[in-house]
Structure 1
Amino acid sequence: MPISRAARRATLRLGAVALAGALLAACGSGSSGSSADNNGKVTLTIDLFGTFGFKEAGLYQEYKKLHPNVTIKETSTEQENDYWKALNTHLAGGGGLADIQGIEVGRTASVTQQMSDKFVDLNTLGAKDLQGDYSKAKWAAATTAGGQTLGLGTDVGPEAICYRSDLFKKAGLPTNRTELAKKWATWDGYLKLGEQYKAKAGAKSHWMDSISSLYTLMIGQQKERYYDASGKLVYDKNAAVKSAWDTSVKAAKDGLSAKLTQWSPSWNQAFSSGSFATIGCPAWMLGYIKGQAGTAGKGTWDVAPLPGGVSGNWGGSYLSIPKTSPHAKQAYAFIKWLTAAPQQEKLFKKQGSFPSNLGAIAGVQGVKDPYFSNAPIGELFGTAAQTSPVQVLGVHDRDVDQQITNALGEVEQKGTSSATAWSHAQKGIDNAVG
């Protein structure tokens, strides 16, 4: 996810080396590799970001029962940006890498176009046999022009709106998800309903958590965002980017946002405090909400389709194996199992991470979530996934997005003018792209 997302890393390691724990602390992200003893026991390390949910869903324990000789150790980085920087540092130096590294979808073009020599071609381990298990777009995003497959897909991020039905009721708004979907069939409708909420909810509760969340939802509905199909950077000429920016700025000026920075401690606390009533909700956000709102939040949250007539995509990831891993075969067997349909189904049912495996997608259509007022999340996110565009991704896609959302944070929290903030975004993008 989240991802970005939060609570995210997993590393699987044991060691015959007493310094393993110290290395983990020193490296922060990743490890110096896996280990094996003379009895054939193997310790695999897996380094992730955000809410992948493998450990939370019990998948590591299940794999251990199936493979007693394999020990799994995880590490986790809260912020994907921090994780990516550390991963690049480790890749450049050749050390501190885990057996398995998570790759966010916005980074896949960087991996396939600039780092293919750093990762194992999974086709050499049998991945070609799995190609039919995924959509063409999901498979292609982690495949180089020369046909190397550098990652297996975990989840995708079809979008919806999660909302506090209890806060809606207090403000005199409809709480039925079908009725709400009609009222916010357009983004204008969503913002107008926000004005009604603002008028009745009082100063302590706001319509949305942040305008960067709103922007991310809107831009996720676009096939072409920051790059065109030829790989040219076009964000500053794309009318869809301008529209999403202007709408987000307007929401800030109209006082509809709680002005929270996503993934910050204050944002985490707001899930249970009632500081906001709606939030952009890719499927993986369900697990995050449960973790932050806790048992007290059960039944107060619900899910409704996204405004705009089509869904979008926010996040989604892959599992890749660096060439430095001494146990690539065991690592591949593990990620093949993690991303297979039965495991992706379990992950969705327990954590909300929507499958990228086609068999798993079919298997979760009837899933409902009691925590989210028994919302039909399988059907809702399944439909959303079908209407999400196949996005054009560029080498610095994630960097461009981060600079724009950072600039929106200036508008929201500092009152910076739209024009000034946009110029800051452009300068940041120029620096990031080089």
Structure 2
Amino acid sequence: MTSILSAATLLAAACGGSGGPESSDGRIELTIGTFGEFGYEGLYAEYERLHPNITITPHKTGQGGPYHEALFTKLGAGSGLDDVMAVEEGHLSDVLAKSSRFHDLADLGPADVKPDRWLDWKYQAGLDKQGKLVGYGTDIGPLAMCYRKDLFQQAGLPTDPQEVKSLFESWDSYFEAGDRFVRESGGTAWFDSAAQLFNAMQNQLQTGFFDRSDTLVVESNPAIKQNWDKVTAAVERGQSAGLVAFSNEWNSGFKSSAFATKTCPSWMLGVIEEQAGPEHAGQWAVTDAFPGGGGNWGGSYLTVPTQSEHPEEAAALAAWLTAPEQQIKAFKAKGVFPSQVQALESPELLAATNDYFGGVKDGELFATQARKVGHAQYKGPGDGKIQENAVAPALQAVEQGASPDEGWRQFVDASAQIAR
């Protein structure tokens, strides 16, 4: 979860830089930059106990946007980065485009850290086009579907997590169920935001906004237009609540029952519980089904910039933090879902339950969903900006009355501007 940045946090982030030189007593200070919640706070002290010569100074920023803006500013300046820098998957393509500024962790890191530590698609996404490992994978956000059981029941739809799977088998079945729900519920929206659906559909494609030569393919990849047509047609049929994700109105929509279904990466369960509040406990459910198969939304990587004065020690810290044992501890501390194969098989994770969602074994459910993600889609420089600054505004325009064709042209033109 994000929080409003305090002045002290901003000052710490502004002053943060690569670790200082080794002290006279042989101790080494390592700095690490993160944002949001990684579940690492208790792990730092443990690492220091295991490595008496290491002192860890964390620089934690509340929100990912300002954090990544500062990261790229410092990267361009050639100074000021921490020894270990976290990078969110939405910004990873821009880091991979500047991979010469980061160490190859396959060469620098501990020899026992092998690719099979991670799910294959998570590991592959951390490689640049030359096969350089720029980041060790941390968490992931495997996708399932959340829904309001009480609203489903009122509309005559099935409510049991096993019975609703057929509704979410494909995007066609999902939108067909949405038509029935809107009709039977008297006009309640089926989903929260068109952009939320489109981004999930986009990430399932073999080729995204860019091909591997970094050529923009928004107009030349017919699958993108097909997804656009499906989502905007559903908008025109009244299925979207038209809420901008993470806005105040979107937050309030959970409490006011403004929509019945929600694309649900693992971390979204905590968002729903916080925003919907205790009065809706037990009314939300989650099922291990997602239209079109598997998908992922979220997750990060730990990188070691070439600016670091202690790169080997920094790589060792990053490797330890992303080991399965530590990822289980982070999951228990903050609910961040692990990307490591061994962690996904942990009895602790598989036995985890969520009372708010009716006691569902959410650890087991999302471990199943994580294995349904088939490939790491290549994302060219500017991919995240296209999602945020081209897709979302264009779909919002359709939700506010623009035609799908008008929205599509806005999306195409804005994407071209970003890709220049």
Q: TM-score normalised to the size of structure 2? A: 0.85
* Residue 325 of structure 1: how far off its partner (Å): 3.0
1:167 aligns with 2:162: no
Q: Deviations for 1:367-426, whole angstroms, at most 9, x for unmatched residues?
A: 4333322223333323322222213313222233332233112212x3222222222222
- The equivalent of 1:343 in structure 2 is 326
- Separation of aligned partners in 1, 2:405 and 2:315: 48
SS at match of 2:233: helix
- SS class of match (2:147): strand
The runs of 5 or more residues in structure 1 that have no matched partner are 1-5, 11-20
Amino acid paired to 1:377:
D
User: How far off its partner does 1:144 sit?
Assistant: 3.6
Consecutive unaligned residues of structure 2, counting only runs of 5 or more, are none
Task: Give the counterpart of 1:126 among 109, 120, 136.
Answer: 109
- CA RMSD, 1 decimal: 3.2
State the AA in 1 paired with 2:216: L
Instruction: Give the drift of 1:247.
Output: 1.6
**1:311 aligns with one of 294, 297, 312:** 294
Q: 1:7 aligns with which of 2, 16, 23?
A: 2
User: Separation in 1 of the partners of 2:47 and 2:284?
Assistant: 33
- Equivalent residues of 1:9, 1:74 under 8 A apart: no
Give 1:292's aligned residue.
Answer: 275
- For 1:393, the equivalent position in structure 2 comes to 378
User: Separation in 2 of the partners of 1:340 and 1:34?
Assistant: 22
The answer to which of 223-232 and 149-158 deviates more is 223-232
C-alpha contact 1:311 1:388 (8 A) present in aligned 2: yes
TM-superposed CA distance for 1:320, in Å, is 0.9
Equivalent position to 1:375, from 360, 385, 395: 360
CA contact 2:39–2:330 (8 Å) conserved in 1: yes
Q: Distance in 2 between matches of 1:171 and 1:29?
A: 52
Q: Does residue 416 of structure 2 align to residue 430 of structure 1?
A: yes
**Mapped partners of 2:230, 2:83: distance in 1:** 43
Between the aligned partners of 2:200 and 2:212, the Cα distance in structure 1 is 21
Distance 2:15 2:342 in 1: 31
**Aligned position for 2:243:** 260
Question: Could you say if the C-alpha distance between residues 144 and 60 of structure 1 is closer, same or farther in structure 2, counting changes exceeding 3 Å?
Answer: same
Q: Does 1:87 align with 2:71?
A: yes
Alignment of 1:231-246 (within 5 A): 231-246=214-229
The change in CA–CA distance for 1:350 and 1:251 in structure 2 (over 3 A counts) is farther
Offset of residue 214 of structure 1 = 1.1
Cα distance per residue 1:25-75 (max 9 Å; x no partner): 2586782344576666666443334554445xx545655665676344342
Does structure 2 retain, via aligned residues, the 8 Å contact 1:156–1:354?
A: yes
In 2, Cα distance between equivalents of 1:371 and 1:66: 37
Instruction: Select the residue among 396, 407, 410 that pairs with 2:394.
Output: 407
1:22 and 1:180, CA in 2 relative to 1: closer, same or farther beyond 3 A?
closer
Shift of the 102–293 alpha-carbon distance from structure 1 to 2, 3 Å rule, reads: farther
Contact (CA 8 Å) 1:368, 1:378: kept in 2 or not? Answer: yes
Return the alpha-carbon distance in structure 2 between the equivalents of residues 29 and 245 of structure 1: 40
Deviation at 1:281, TM superposition (A): 0.9
Which deviates more, 312-321 or 378-387? 378-387
8 Å CA contact 2:118–2:339 kept in 1: the answer is yes
CA distance in 1, matches of 2:302, 2:55: 18
Q: Are residues 275 and 230 of structure 1, via their aligned partners in 2, closer, same or farther at CA, if it must alter by over 3 Å?
A: same
The number of aligned residues is 413
Matched, 1:355 2:341: no
- 8 Å CA contact retained: 1:9, 1:78: yes
Percent of aligned positions that are identical: 36
Which of 99, 116, 119 is equivalent to 2:83? 99
Checking the alignment, whether the CA contact within 8 Å between 1:29 and 1:47 is kept in structure 2 is: no
- 1:328-357 CA-partner distances (Å, limit 9, x unpaired): 344333322221112222334554433221
Counterpart position of 1:384: 369
TM-score (norm 1): 0.82
Instruction: Tell me which amino acid in the other structure corresponds to 1:426.
Output: V
Query: In the alignment, what sits opposite 1:16?
Result: none
How far 1:218 moved relative to its partner? 1.7
Give the alignment of 1:179-190 within 5 angstroms: 179-190=163-174
CA spacing shift, 1:88–1:426, aligned 2, 3 Å: same
d(CA) in 2 for partners of 1:348, 1:157: 12
Instruction: Output the CA distance in 2 between the equivalents of 1:293 and 1:334.
Output: 38
